[in-house]
Each structure stands twice: as C-alpha cells, then as structure tokens.
A and B are shown apart, each in its own frame.
Chain A
Amino acid sequence: MAGRATHQTLSVLVENRSGVLARVSSLFARRGYNIISLAVAPTDDPAFSRITIVIDIETTSVEQITKQLFKLVNVVKITELDPADSVERELLLATVNAAGDNRSQVVELVDLFNGKIEDVGYDTLTVMLAGEPARLDDLEELLRPYGITDLQRTGRVALPRLERQAPRLRNVTGKAS
C-alpha cells in the first residue's frame, strides 16, 4: 500500500487545544475527503500537536484538502510529505494462532523482521513490529496463513528527511512568501 500515488501523507501542526482534532475530522467528513490513517500526539512544544494524516488523493486533490485544512484557525502549518523524502514509521500488533509446530515458525518469522513477541497465550501469540509501513504489510501477509485473530495498526507517523549536505549559502531572491 505504501508509496503509491493514490495516497499522500500530510503532517499538520495544530494548536494543542480541545476540539482541534474534531475540527480536522469534521472538515474531512463534511467535504467528503477520505482518511486512510490518522495519528495525533503533542510535539516537543506542549502548545502544539502534530497530526499525521494519510489521505486518499484519488478522489480529491491534495491541493484542495491542504487549502481547506489551512482555513482552520487552529492549523499552524501543513507539510506535504513525499514518501521518498520522509521517514515514515508505523507500529503493528497482531494476535496470531500459534499452536504446536506453528509456534516456532511464527517466532522465527517475527524474528526475521526484527519484531517482538509481546504476549504469549496457550495457543496464540501477540507480536509487535514497528517500522516502515511496507514491512508491516509484508509481515501481515506472511502471518495471515497462520490465522490472525486480532490486528491493530497505529497508522503512520512521519517526519521529513534531514539534509545530508552541510549548509551552504543559497540564493533566495525572488522566493515566494
């Protein structure tokens, strides 16, 4: 699913006030925009929260969604994150049938992905994997034949990739405000 042109990730910096998430989600509902996933948490500055939204851009242009979002008074900044230029991570929890021989196979599989076994039941295991959304998709697919009884993913969070080059003087004349 990750990285296809049908999706786009928006990192939306908002004032950390009550009702802001409701404003954002009701805007999506009211204008018929589709949310694929949404994650929200305060930033290092407790006055602000960051909402990471993965949106469906097949039906609506990302430009219109961004502009409408920015009309919300509590929205401070919106960054459109291109998967190629950002670090995207997600966390997956899955409870998998793992009776008998299957148990060791599941453990091995999770181990190969650098995931963890977080809970052990009589004939089930709850596994955890944090990483790139595509890797989570892969593990999910490989676990499915064993029987996934519960699955919870957080939705992705993302930050832009950092500059690798040392800063140098750039000509910024004529730059739009």
Chain B
Amino acid sequence: MKLTGAQALIKSLEMESVEVIFGLPGGCILPAYDPLLDSPIRHILVRHEQGAGHMAEGYAHVTGRPGVAMVTSGPAATNMVTPLCDAYMDSVPMVAITGQVGRPFIGTDAFQECDTVGITRSVTKHNELVMDPDELPLIIRQAFHLATTGRPGPVLVDVPKDILQAELDWWWPTDADLAASLPGYKPTTKGHPRMIKEAARLIAAAERPVIYAGGGILKARAAEALKELAEATGIPVVTTLMARGAFPDDHPLCLGMPGMHGNYTAITAMQQSDLLIALGTRFDDRVTGRVGAFAPDAKVVHVDIDPAELNKIRKPDVPIVGDCRQVITEIVRALRQLDGADDAPPTPDRTPWRSRISGWQERYPLHYDPQVEGDALKPQMVMETLRDSAPEETILVSGVGQHQMWASQFWKFNHPYTWVNSGGLGTMGFSVPAAIGAKVGRPDRTVWAVDGDGCFQMTAQELATAASERIPVKVAILNNAYLGMVRQWQEMFYEERYSEVYLSPDLPDYVKWAEAMGCVGIRVEHPEEVQPAIDKANSIDDRPVVIDFRTDASEKVFPMVPAGASNDEVVVHPSQAPGGERVVQ
C-alpha cells in the first residue's frame, strides 16, 4: 500500500492508539494536517506551542499514556523546548512531532529552519530527524517505545516537509524489528535477587526506617505495591513533591512531603532515620538540603529504573536497578521469607521511633495564622476550602511558586494520579495548559488548577483553547499581586529589599480576561465569599471557570529549609518558634 509520509505519520500514530494530539499547524508540518481530517484522532488547537507541550504532559501525568504534541518547525519547535525539558526532568512520557524544512533546504538557514534535534538533544530522552520516508513508521514506533519504557521521558521526531510529501510502501514494524533497531536499549526491570534479599535484611533490622517514595512510584504504577510494603512493615512513608498521591495522605503511616517546604515531621524523620528506603526517587537538592548533612546516620536502599540515579548524589548501601513495582513486590516477598527464618535479624523495637514521630506531628503541624474577618484572604484558607469542597478524586494541577507549595501541603492526596505539577524544572505557567491536558485525559474528573497571578499571566491564553474545545477546567488564582516566592526570599534573605516582584492585583483584570476568553470569571475579596464562589465553580460544567482570589501578600510558606542549609535547620512558622528562630535538633 502506497502512502504519503503524512498519511504514514498519522497512521503510525493511530497504530500507537493515540486518541488526542495537542498542536498548532504551520508551514512545514502542513502536509500532516490534511490526513488528520480523515483520522479518528482528536486534535486540540492550542494558542501557543508551549501550551501544546504542557497539555501533552498533563494528559500523560493523569493517564500514564504518552502525551502527543505536534507543531511546525523553527519558532514552534523552540517554543516546545520548555515543555520537553519539563517532561525530561519529571520523567513524563511524551512524543513531540515537529515539522522541519525539506531535506534539500536543511543547513541553508531556510525560512523557519532551526536545528531542532540539536537544540532539543539535552532535553529529550531521545530525538531523531527523519531522513528516509521508509523509516518513518519505525521511528514513530521507536519514539513511543522509548517514551514509555525504562525511565519514561520525552522523545522528539523531526520530520522534513518533503518526507511528509514523499511516498512510501506502508509497513508497521514488528516487535522484532523494533528490538533489532535499538541494539543499545535494554532497560533493566527486574531487581537483582541478592540485592533484594540484602534490602529485606536491612529493612527487617532497622530501628528508625523511613520509606522515601518518589515520582517513580507513579511512573511504575506501584502505588498498591508501596502500600503493601508500608503496611506489611509498619514503616512510615514520605511522599516527595512528585509522589504526592502515591501513598494516601489519610493513611496513618503517611508523613507527607519532605524537603525545602515539607512538613517538619517528614523532614526530621528522614534526617534522623537509620534506614532510608528510597523508591523511584533521585535525592533532589530540594529534598536533601545540604547533601553532606542529609540523613547522616541512615543506611540507604535505593531502587530506581535509571542506573545513573544510584550513587549520583548519595551512595546507597543497597543499590537496586529495576522497575519499582516489581522490585517492591520482590522485597515484600523476601521480607515474608525472612520472617521467622533462622538467619533473620533480631526484630527491633520500633516503638520509640513511632512515638518520636508522633511527637513531632503533634508539636509541629502545618500552621498558618487564622483568617481574620475583614483581612485579605489567607491563601492557605482558600486551599483548604477548595480541598474540602472538591469532589472525590479531583485532579489538582499547579504552577510553580508559593501556591504550589500550599497546594502540596494543604491538599489531601488520597489517590494516585490526582496531582500534576512541574517539579524538577519548576516551570511557571505550567498549570493552565497542564490542567487542560489532564481534563482531556480524564474528562470524568473535576480538574482544578491552582495558580499564582505571575504564573497565570504566562500561559492563560490557553483558556481560549479550553473554552473553544469545551474543556471545563477550573482555575483558582491565588492573586497576591506579587511573584510570591521571590518576594518571600527577598523578605527573608535580602533584608526586605523588594526588587521587581510587584505585579498589581488589577492589571490585568482577571475577571474580564477570563470572560474575554469565554470563561466564567469570579472575583473573591472577602473570606465569606470564598465558599460560595467555589461552590459556584464546582457547579459549572460547560465552560472553564476562573476565580481571582485576592490573597494576603505577606503570607509566607512554612516550614522552610533555607537554600544550602542542612535539614536539621527547619524554619517553622513563627508562632511555633517564638522569635522566629530556627528549630535545630
């Protein structure tokens, strides 16, 4: 069967069971948009290519399936760099297809030409420039395989215009063709049996163990396995920013989020543990604080599918390369075999550890000054009201900054895949497009985007996409008229010298802006309006809703471990440490 490259591209996407493409056409990718008209694949026309990339990410976060973005060459490809880097940092499976100038024009500085594979090399798991139309189906199949196996990540395929116009004999590569075409790609999924036994022995013998669960738990669909491990051993679990929801917040063993803005108990339990069971996580600097002082007495069992993460930051005592779900299941089995065996280590008494943990929980819960009537809204109160009014399994999406930390701190994530955010790259403007992608992936769920006023202004135009495509996301802007996190740092570390952080609460007028984009816009200035506004937003299901919450700019995110400090030096809320001094263990 003869097909054009464009037809083969769309057919290849159909073969990969793609149901939706987020994209924006232009010169070089134009041929691919014609067969799209005859395809069952839904296309969502974005307003900016960055939006397409973040939508693909949001879709992938909540469905576990690769998000697909398709844009043209040159500026469209460079606009895709941020979402690719974001997806690379957070291991999000994503396939980006970019148009490229025709092969004869490559290297001539042709109109809308850029070196897309060169530019995106360091922000993709892999990328490929198609130079032979016959290879197109194979390269697409490779892209989906690479994006979704091993450590997931973004893959970019750059397709010259003349390849899309050329003819080829249609073929679809078999599994054997695929394997033969990737001789150097064999991710290890099964953990080493001896290491698994060794891990079980350390776990059984530990007096102060903590499970340090990362985003890899979600990527490996390992939330159930994690729960089994925690419950079988009674070991408390911290969930990193990328792992919120991987272990239910309402579980008695859940300690919540560790790290720079984690809660006191999660930070301190890790810091004082004698065994960290690190699962699908990478000892990020925002978690460890000063690495040299991080969890000094802890032995480390480190499980990750990416061998390069083992011993990158912290040398593990037991390194295990493998898929988290498989390895955790094997560890649970090894623990059961060890239980009562002759050579089992003596069972430690973990009662003192448990009581220390509950002591910290009682003494240093998350805290903010209560809302006073007539005062500006407390952003934390808005978050709590939003949380308490949200339907079960609501998906929460956030941007980056103070609102992101409050969202992670104050929401109760009781289900996996209900939290979407930009962790590694910290991409402001992530939330609106990512929420749209999430809602496309899970139309049955309520999707709330929590955003800052700074973030919202970066990508808000995608609400026009949402309105025209009937994607009813809800956006809560915590509008404190500042780049809030930067303001917090300037207040705390730059003697309150505020430099270029003020944005104004009224410019733009968020309600008018929302309405101009076909959304419902609501402004909330007084505490008593918060609940009715949220109820109204939750009741609207035919268009997007934006609520402009006017929040208190002086609110800061606590606790905080200042950058470069040890996790022994947690700055808690001033009311928990009179005088505002650091709590040093």
Which of A's residues lie within 8 Å of B, judged by CB? 14-15, 18-19, 22-23, 26-27, 30, 61, 63-64, 67-68, 70-77, 176-177
Give the Cβ gap from A95 to chain B, nearest Cβ, in Å.
35
Q: What are the residues of chain B within 8 A of A67 when measuring CB–CB?
A: 307-308, 310
A75, B184: Cβ atoms under 8 Å? yes
B118, A15: Cβ atoms under 8 Å? no
Q: What are the residues of chain A within 8 A of B131 when measuring CB–CB?
A: 18
B308, A68: Cβ atoms under 8 Å? yes
A73, B146: Cβ atoms under 8 Å? yes
A63, B192: Cβ atoms under 8 Å? no
The 8 Å CB contact of A77, one of B146, B184, B188, is: B184
- Measured CB to CB, the nearest residue on chain A to B129 is A19
Q: What are the residues of chain A within 8 A of B308 when measuring CB–CB?
A: 64, 67-68, 70-71
The 8 Å CB contact of A76, one of B146, B183, B188, B312, is: B183
Give the Cβ gap from B129 to chain A, nearest Cβ, in Å.
8
B543 close to A (CB within 8 Å): no
30 pairs, A vs B, C-beta closer than 8 Å? A15-B183, A15-B184, A18-B131, A19-B129, A22-B118, A22-B121, A26-B121, A27-B122, A61-B311, A63-B311, A64-B311, A64-B312, A67-B307, A67-B308, A68-B308, A70-B184, A70-B308, A71-B308, A73-B125, A73-B126, A73-B146, A73-B184, A73-B185, A74-B184, A75-B184, A76-B183, A76-B184, A77-B184, A176-B192, A177-B192
Q: What are the residues of chain B within 8 A of A176 when measuring CB–CB?
A: 192
A64 to B126, CA, bound (A): 19
B117 close to A (CB within 8 Å): yes
- Measured CB to CB, the nearest residue on chain A to B117 is A19
State the main secondary structure of chain B at its contact with A. loop
A72 to B126, CA, bound (A): 7
- Measured CB to CB, the nearest residue on chain A to B150 is A71
Q: What are the residues of chain A within 8 A of B310 when measuring CB–CB?
A: 67
A70, B307: Cβ atoms under 8 Å? yes
A30, B306: Cβ atoms under 8 Å? no
Interface residues of B in 142-186 (CB under 8 A from A): 146, 182-185
Interface band, chain B: 20 to 34
**Most A CB within 10 A of own CB, among B125, B184, B188:** B184
Q: What are the residues of chain B within 8 A of A73 when measuring CB–CB?
A: 125-126, 146, 182, 184-185
- Measured CB to CB, the nearest residue on chain B to A74 is B184
A73 to B129, CA, bound (A): 14
- Measured CB to CB, the nearest residue on chain A to B181 is A15
A68 to B184, CA, bound (A): 13
State the main secondary structure of chain A at its contact with B. mixed
Bitwise interface map of B from 18 to 60 toward A, beta carbon under 8 Å scored 1, else 0: 0000000000000000000000000000000000000000000
Give the Cβ gap from A85 to chain B, nearest Cβ, in Å.
23
Interface residues of B in 72-128 (CB under 8 A from A): 117-118, 121-122, 125-126
A128 to B380, CA, bound (A): 74
- Measured CB to CB, the nearest residue on chain B to A65 is B308
A70 to B261, CA, bound (A): 34
Interface residues of B in 307-325 (CB under 8 A from A): 307-308, 310-312
Q: What are the residues of chain A within 8 A of B312 when measuring CB–CB?
A: 64
Interface residues of B in 493-526 (CB under 8 A from A): none
Give the Cβ gap from A151 to chain B, nearest Cβ, in Å.
31
A23 to B127, CA, bound (A): 10
- Measured CB to CB, the nearest residue on chain A to B151 is A71
Q: What are the residues of chain B within 8 A of A18 when measuring CB–CB?
A: 131
A165 to B117, CA, bound (A): 48
A71, B306: Cβ atoms under 8 Å? yes
Give the Cβ gap from B442 to chain A, nearest Cβ, in Å.
31
- Measured CB to CB, the nearest residue on chain A to B121 is A26
A59 to B48, CA, bound (A): 42
Give the Cβ gap from A46 to chain B, nearest Cβ, in Å.
14
Give the Cβ gap from A26 to chain B, nearest Cβ, in Å.
6
- Measured CB to CB, the nearest residue on chain A to B153 is A71
Q: What are the residues of chain B within 8 A of A64 when measuring CB–CB?
A: 308, 311-312
A157 to B192, CA, bound (A): 34
Q: Give 12 A-B pairs besides A64-B312, A71-B306 with Cβ atoms closer than 8 angstroms.
A: A19-B117, A19-B129, A22-B121, A30-B122, A64-B308, A67-B308, A70-B308, A72-B184, A73-B126, A73-B146, A73-B182, A177-B188
Give the Cβ gap from A147 to chain B, nearest Cβ, in Å.
41
Q: What are the residues of chain A within 8 A of B146 when measuring CB–CB?
A: 73
Q: What are the residues of chain B within 8 A of A19 when measuring CB–CB?
A: 117, 129
Give the Cβ gap from B54 to chain A, nearest Cβ, in Å.
23
Q: What are the residues of chain A within 8 A of B126 when measuring CB–CB?
A: 73
A62 to B183, CA, bound (A): 23
A64 to B312, CA, bound (A): 7
A167 to B306, CA, bound (A): 35
Q: What are the residues of chain B within 8 A of A23 when measuring CB–CB?
A: 121
Please list the 9 inter-chain residue pairs (A to B) with the smallest Cβ-Cβ separation, ordered nearest first: A67-B308, A76-B184, A73-B126, A30-B122, A67-B307, A75-B184, A76-B183, A73-B185, A68-B308
Give the Cβ gap from B316 to chain A, nearest Cβ, in Å.
12
**Most A CB within 10 A of own CB, among B192, B308, B310:** B308
A19 to B307, CA, bound (A): 24
Q: What are the residues of chain B within 8 A of A70 when measuring CB–CB?
A: 184, 307-308
A95 to B131, CA, bound (A): 43
A30 to B88, CA, bound (A): 14
Q: What are the residues of chain A within 8 A of B311 when measuring CB–CB?
A: 61, 63-64
- Measured CB to CB, the nearest residue on chain A to B310 is A67
A26, B117: Cβ atoms under 8 Å? no
A165 to B185, CA, bound (A): 33
Give the Cβ gap from A45 to chain B, nearest Cβ, in Å.
11
Give the Cβ gap from A35 to chain B, nearest Cβ, in Å.
16
- Measured CB to CB, the nearest residue on chain A to B131 is A18
- Measured CB to CB, the nearest residue on chain B to A29 is B122
Q: What are the residues of chain A within 8 A of B188 when measuring CB–CB?
A: 177
Bitwise interface map of B from 122 to 141 toward A, beta carbon under 8 Å scored 1, else 0: 10011001010000000000
Q: What are the residues of chain A within 8 A of B306 when measuring CB–CB?
A: 71
Q: What are the residues of chain A within 8 A of B192 when measuring CB–CB?
A: 176-177
Q: What are the residues of chain A within 8 A of B184 when measuring CB–CB?
A: 14-15, 70, 72-77
A75 to B126, CA, bound (A): 12
A16 to B381, CA, bound (A): 59
